[in-house]
Structure 1
Amino acid sequence: MKKLLVASAVALAMAASAHAETNKEGEKWVAGFVEYYSTDQAETGAPFYIDNGMGLGVEFGFRFKPQWAARIEAAALDIDATPDDYSGSRFGIDALYFLPDDLFYILGGLKTTKIAESDYYVDLGIGKHWDINENLKVVTEITAYQNLDTSHTHMGYKLGLAYSFGETSSSTPASARDSDNDGVNDSNDLCANTPYGTKVDATGCAIAAVQAADSDNDGVADDKDKCANTPTTDKVDANGCSIFTEEEVSVDLRVLFSNNSAEVNYPLDPQIKEFADFMKRFPSTDTVIEGHASAPGKADYNMKLSEDRAKAVRSLFIDRYGIDAKRLTVKGFGETQLLDTSNTPAAHEVNRRITAKVSASTRVKVKK
């Protein structure tokens, strides 16, 4: 396991240091190789002694993306052992990730190996294809094989010769690369990593834009702003004017009365004033003042009492708060709409009441 972790760390460290660019999508290769196979010493000891050995194998690979490839591999292994040597075999598949400019590749896969017995391994390693010419390559590779059933880890050191074919595109010359896609080749770009979409000059550096004046900071330039000095909290349209929306607003009124009384006990009650202020703010609104009575007493008497209560509240709005009488109507409900039917003093108190509600539509600014 330690060998596997070391191999992983080396691979990741080398990957982080790479920065070049290549493109060999569509490349295929066949290779033959020899391998020095090192067993985990934890597997040695009486009555068996599985030692190191040699291997001989073949592989076929296909690069389906500029940096990604897959391969199948088969190998015959000759392992030294006590009391008898073993003629083993290995077969499996790997995924390969090639770093830019084929600096090296990282591999990982699954293998089935038979030495003394059949086992399954996951493998992780690093390798490189060294170009001899356009088609021939020397293959070097170091791989760790981790047994899935035990903690044993084997190592393989491979040297081979590969023949490649079918490549659809080749590496991009360094002089023609444009790493930040700003239209200026890296060889002429004095400002690397310019954000995508930035306008640049011939040297690849951002062109400073002339900022149009926007006095009220609403995002619309002064020469196009038809509403100067808009509050910074307002959302504006293309003309720089605040955007409004219609919202429904309302206020409720609830007044309680003493037993057998139509007199408003607290004419200066804040909720009464709030209701009156609302009607003044929205002069096009009308409301119905509804009177109610508790259950004790005769029904016809309670009906008249509830209507008198509604009239008393209406008179209060007209006389004290100046609300137009035409906007206020009354209706008595007697004991027909009790809120609490438990026939207790507390129930009678909540049932002796006035209710009213007024609603209106108003334009409200849309905030950012």
Structure 2
Amino acid sequence: MKHNLKLAALSLAVMASTNAFAQESSEPDYKHWIGLSGMYYNADESRPLSLTENGAYDEGQGLSVEYGFRFTQSWAARIEITDLELDNAAGNTAGDADGEMVGVDAMYFMPDDAWFLFAGVKRQSVGVSTTQGNIGIGKHWDIHESVKLITEVAAYHDFGEDYNDYSLKLGIAVPFGKSTPKAPVDSDNDGVVDGKDQCPMTPAGVRVDATGCSVDNDNDGVMNSVDQCPNTPAGTQVDAMGCAIKDADNDGVVDSKDMCPDTEAGVKVDAKGCTVFDQETVEITLRVLFDNESAVVKMPKDPEISEFAEFMKQYPSTTAVIEGHTSAPGTESYNMDLSERRAANFKEVMVDMYGIDATRLDTVGYGETQLLDTASNAEAHRVNRRISVTVKDTVKVPEEK
């Protein structure tokens, strides 16, 4: 009898595990269930009828009620109460015993609810009260949307007396508390849900096929099926075959049509690839002060003087008139001569130190005739002792993109 029971238990376990792979994938659609099952129970042959009676139990049957709750898709717990009757192994009905078995189980459901494993603790009060640990395997078979068939096989072990019992269970479960279906997830937002996406990390904006993989690996606008240059660098202009169109100066006009192949970067070009120019007025004014009765340029490397010289070099078609001035004290003839020397000395600095062509610079002295400040004090005299020069021109400048 015990041998037959073990074969039956093994068969049920194998049947549950092999049928798991025949089930279609589905998300769990319930969080609670109540079950009612019949149980076949086989007791250890050495388990005594009671502390005072001789003999042992053989097998029995029971009626089980359970309530289960699923915490997550995989994990659940249940409470189970079983009305259990065990038979006297000697066949004497007077030795049969009724009682109950109460316990809790932790349950782990395999993916798609293919089958589940469970383990827990049971308190059995039949003849001799005992506390047992139990493990088992089972499955909830879909019969109807609101009804499931329960099949389980379990093993029990009494750690105190070292008894080993077995049971088979067949019953009906009623699930309730349906969970809200989750919308399909599309992690890379390419329009293909994760369950079908064979390329789950596609960069944003890349076109994909039905499997979620790029149809244009180098993202040049040419489909992989016709792209003869599948690894074109990003941003490269390509032809209908996906190969780069040469544009040496990167101005947007291909070399075969570019009449100005060395266009400066960042400027606007016309259809022939040549720079588009605009008219612009450029101007710079410089004022340099002098000590009293001095024509010496004290700081010829002053940043403002250097900037003026660079401006002259940047616009080589420009010319300038250097104007010399003095303050009011002194005779008119002395001041006129001093102003001319100041202008001449500044021109010499421009030519000798900065390399400006002398023909681009003229000088003139105004003496005390063009005072900036007519007051008769030290500050007025200081600002009037000066040279001033203004350069202004209208030039063509490239338009920026």
Shorter-chain TM band: 0.3 to 0.5
TM-score of the two chains, using structure 2 as the length reference: 0.43
TM-score of the two chains, using structure 1 as the length reference: 0.46
